[in-house]
DNA sequence: TCTGGGGTCCTAGGACCC
DNA sequence: TCTGGGGTCCTAGGACCC
């Protein structure tokens, strides 16, 4: 809690949807919904036009389609979002060395640490200038909150949405918070809200009045104490520039529940390999392998195994994941599978192997040895090169290897995974036609694909339809949003690829 | 045609050690 | 053989966030 409102929180407005509208002139001013387009997809971001129909983040796509049947439904294009995010983060980096990204579209900045501002007036000027710069560089709008703490800066940016700036003068925060619902405070979700409501507390003032002991008794030591502090407007958490990731994981929800054990095992092994690819791309290794299984009834369980030492060997992780699966009952069907690695270390298996061979004597104590381990040396031979593009779930078909024969009931094979592999031409994807040039897929089906030919800086373009196997039509990369602005993803990209989840949560 | 994917932090019990 | 107390590690689950 500082005396001047020099902690800035930036939140881009309806980020994914806004990027799509910037890239696709025909969608400007129209309801746009970005998310998973498969039968089990959810909304990642809805444009403000779509929100008027009641569409919210994290809503099942099927429900969104009922509410806004005429909206444009697009698959997320993370590479573009990452590029634009990099441009925004670069602007933040000019304000201060202390920039803490929370996701692709959100970050805290400590303006005092950068000498960019020292009081309310200078902070406001920096905030407005930043919003103008973001608009100039990306063509998008962002909302800014300024306050003396992280919590209040975030609340302020929420109040500022869309396309605004709100500054909370230090000293006014308690009065400001008092009438607000408990959900306003970070860390209060549906469960805690319920819990508190049953105890008769619905506003922040109720929490402050209850006292710390009461909240600790109700919610536990850590949660209770931090909630009480926040209710009083106390928050001393510093802006932290870089935090190392503590886990890496991948998961897939299947369009149709999996029943065949052979198929389930095959998917687990694929996920393990994908997970290791990400791990190695980050230059890390991990010690604990986690398997996640969501069953047909949405009940979810995890099983984990801690190895004797950290590994980035795909064989070791795959075999550990397979062992964990052996102990899980999948009767009734599997909706989701996930594989993760935690207990991350900075070194890779090669380093350990080098160490072990260097210190020949101590060979027996090889730290990298693992239960059931396939020797460390040969394991990595078949590992695919880490490729940035390869990790991006853009909805394209990603299985190069055909899955084993599906068991009984596995009729609709259609490429399995969450990537919705059947959709060779995913809605929203960039394409290029030999004659008509750059465009994007508006829809496809029945052997036809509809493409709208337009570019970010062109007028709304016209639509043409082709056969899905038209040789003149090919997938292509994204175009820059603003002509002349280089498309090089910055190094300061948040660790998570998350969308915008909570912005749609309901408030009292 | 209900409920994604990637993370973080906390709790709690048992094992194990001193 | 009526009984300790603390610390750390491992596992599983849950809440929350974007």
How many helices (H) and strands (E) chain A has is answered by 15, 17
pLDDT score for A423: 47
pLDDT at A410: 31
User: Looking at A238-370, which runs of residues are DSSP E strands?
Assistant: 247-258, 286-295, 300-311, 334-342
Could you say which residues of chain A have pLDDT below 70? 348-423, 484-508
pLDDT of residue A351: 56
Residue A465, classed as helix, strand or coil, is strand
Instruction: Determine the distance between A25 (CA) and B12 (C1') in angstroms.
Output: 54
Provide the pLDDT for residue A440.
96
Q: Which single residue is written with the structure tokens 């925060």? A: A173
Which tokens hold the place of A356? 């072990």
CA of A219 to C1' of B11 (A): 11
Within window 65-84 on A, which residues have Cβ closer than 7 Å to strand B? Answer: 65-66
Q: What is the pLDDT of residues A459-504, one digit of tens each?
A: 999 999 999 999 999 999 888 887 765 554 443 434 343 444 434 3
Report the pLDDT value the prediction gives residue A347, as an integer from 0 to 100. 73
Task: Using alpha carbons only, give the angle A377, A381, A387 rounded to the nearest 5 degrees.
Answer: 125
pLDDT at A306: 97
Alpha-carbon span A187 to A232, nearest angstrom: 15
Q: Please name which of A69, A89, A111 lies closest in space to residue A15, comparing C-alpha atoms.
A: A89
Q: How far apart are CA A153 and CA A230, in angstroms?
A: 13
Is A392 in a helix, a strand, or coil? coil
- pLDDT value of residue A226: 96
Spell out the SS3 assignment of A11-41.
Answer: EECCHHHHHHHHHCHHHCCCCEEEECCCCCC
Instruction: Report the interhelical angle of A212-219 vs A190-198 (nearest 10°).
Output: 120
- The predicted-structure confidence for A418-439, as pLDDT tens digits, reads as follows 333 444 799 999 999 999 999 9
Q: What's the pTM value of the predicted model, to 2 decimals?
A: 0.84
> A105: which nucleotide lies closest, measuring CA to C1'?
C18
- A314 touches A383 (CB < 8 A): yes
Calculate the angstrom distance between C1' of C10 and CA of A341.
15
> What residues contact A453, with CB distance under 8 A and at least 6 apart?
A433, A436, A437, A438, A439, A461, A462, A463, A464
Please identify which of the residues A20, A106, A173, A273 carries the catalytic annotation.
Answer: A106
- Bridge partners, residue A439, by sequence: A431
pLDDT digits (tens, 9 = 90+) for A131-163: 999 999 999 999 999 999 999 999 999 999 999
Q: What's the Å distance between residue A348 CA and nucleotide B1 C1'?
A: 45
Q: Residue A212 catalytic?
A: no
Cβ-based contacts with strand C at under 7 Å: A 58, 102-106, 154, 186-193, 287-288, 300-306, 343, 496, 498-503, 505
**CB contact at 8 A, A422 and A395:** no
H helices of A293-368, where?
A: 314-326, 349-358
């Amino acid at each position: 809690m500082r005396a001047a409102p020099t902690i800035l929180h930036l939140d881009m407005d309806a980020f994914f949807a806004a990027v799509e509208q910037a890239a696709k002139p025909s969608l400007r001013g129209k309801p746009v919904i970005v998310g998973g387009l498969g039968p089990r997809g959810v909304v990642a971001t809805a444009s403000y036009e779509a929100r008027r129909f009641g569409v919210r983040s994290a809503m099942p796509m099927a429900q969104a389609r009922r509410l806004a049947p005429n909206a444009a439904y697009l698959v997320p294009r993370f590479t573009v979002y990452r590029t634009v995010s990099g441009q925004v983060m670069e602007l933040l980096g000019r304000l201060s060395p202390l920039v803490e990204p929370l996701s692709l579209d959100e970050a805290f900045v400590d303006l005092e640490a950068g000498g960019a501002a020292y009081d309310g007036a200078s902070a406001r000027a920096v905030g407005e200038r930043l919003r103008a710069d973001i608009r100039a560089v990306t063509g998008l709008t962002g909302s800014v909150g300024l306050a003396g703490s992280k919590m209040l800066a975030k609340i302020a940016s929420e109040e500022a949405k869309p396309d605004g700036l709100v500054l909370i003068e230090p000293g006014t925060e308690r009065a400001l918070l008092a009438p607000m619902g408990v959900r306003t405070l970070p860390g209060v979700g549906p469960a805690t809200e319920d819990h508190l409501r049953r105890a008769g507390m619905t506003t922040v003032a109720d929490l402050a009045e209850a006292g710390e002991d009461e909240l600790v008794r109700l919610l536990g030591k850590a949660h209770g104490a931090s909630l009480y502090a926040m209710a009083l407007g106390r928050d001393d958490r510093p802006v932290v520039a870089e935090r190392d990731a503590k886990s890496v994981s991948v998961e897939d929800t299947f369009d149709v529940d999996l029943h065949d054990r052979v198929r389930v095992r095959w998917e687990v092994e694929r996920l393990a390999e994908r997970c290791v690819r990400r791990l190695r791309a980050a230059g890390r290794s991990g010690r604990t392998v986690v398997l996640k299984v969501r069953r047909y009834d949405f009940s979810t369980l995890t099983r984990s195994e801690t190895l004797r030492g950290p590994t980035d060997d795909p064989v070791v992780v795959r075999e550990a994941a397979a062992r964990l699966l052996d102990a899980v009952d999948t009767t009734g069907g599997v909706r989701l599978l996930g594989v993760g690695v935690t207990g991350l270390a900075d070194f890779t298996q090669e380093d350990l192997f080098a160490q072990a061979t260097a210190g020949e004597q101590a060979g027996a104590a090889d730290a990298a040895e693992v239960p059931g381990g396939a020797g460390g040396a040969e394991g990595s031979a078949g590992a695919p090169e880490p490729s940035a593009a390869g990790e991006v779930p853009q909805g394209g078909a990603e299985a190069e290897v055909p899955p084993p024969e599906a068991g009984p009931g596995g009729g609709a094979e259609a490429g399995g995974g969450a990537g919705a592999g059947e959709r060779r031409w995913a809605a929203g994807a960039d394409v290029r036609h030999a004659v008509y040039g750059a465009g994007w897929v508006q829809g496809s089906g029945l052997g036809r694909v509809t493409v709208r030919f337009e570019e970010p800086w062109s007028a709304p373009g016209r639509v043409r339809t082709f056969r899905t196997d038209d040789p003149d039509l090919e997938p292509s990369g994204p175009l820059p949003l603003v002509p002349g602005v280089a498309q090089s993803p910055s190094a300061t990209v948040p660790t998570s690829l998350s969308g915008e989840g909570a912005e749609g949560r309901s408030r009292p």
